[in-house]
Amino acid sequence: MRPFVIGVVGLAAVLYVGGLTAARWWTGGLVHRGVADPRAARDWYLIAAALGLPIVPMLAFTLASALR
């Protein structure tokens, strides 16, 4: 594998995990404040996971290309 591919895959993994962590903190805060119930928080987390899956690799490729 080329170093560029490894960098893009690694960056995509970091961005995906970071995004899901942020979504988890956000939904946890909503539940803690009583704005949302746990089921709604789980639904938002799953939506973030589903939307992030195709978007993160494109973002990682764009960032890695720009930083090259």
How many domains in the chain?
Answer: 1
Share of the chain above pLDDT 70, in %: 99
Q: Is residue 29 a part of any domain in this protein?
A: yes
Q: Which residues constitute the domain of residue 27? A: 7-66
20 touches 52 (CB < 8 A): yes
Indicate if the pLDDT at residue 1 is higher than 70. no
Q: Is residue 2 a part of any domain in this protein?
A: no
Q: Is residue 22 a part of any domain in this protein?
A: yes
CA–CA gap between residue 23 and residue 16 (Å, rounded): 11
What's the pTM value of the predicted model, to 2 decimals? 0.84
- With residue 50 as reference, give the H or E element that holds it: helix 38-66
Q: Is residue 57 a part of any domain in this protein?
A: yes
Q: Is residue 58 a part of any domain in this protein?
A: yes
19-52 exposure pattern, b = at least 16 Cβ within 10 A, e = fewer: beeebeeebeebeeeeebeeeebeeebeebeeeb
Q: Is residue 1 a part of any domain in this protein?
A: no
The predicted-structure confidence for 30-49, as pLDDT tens digits, reads as follows 999 999 999 999 999 999 99
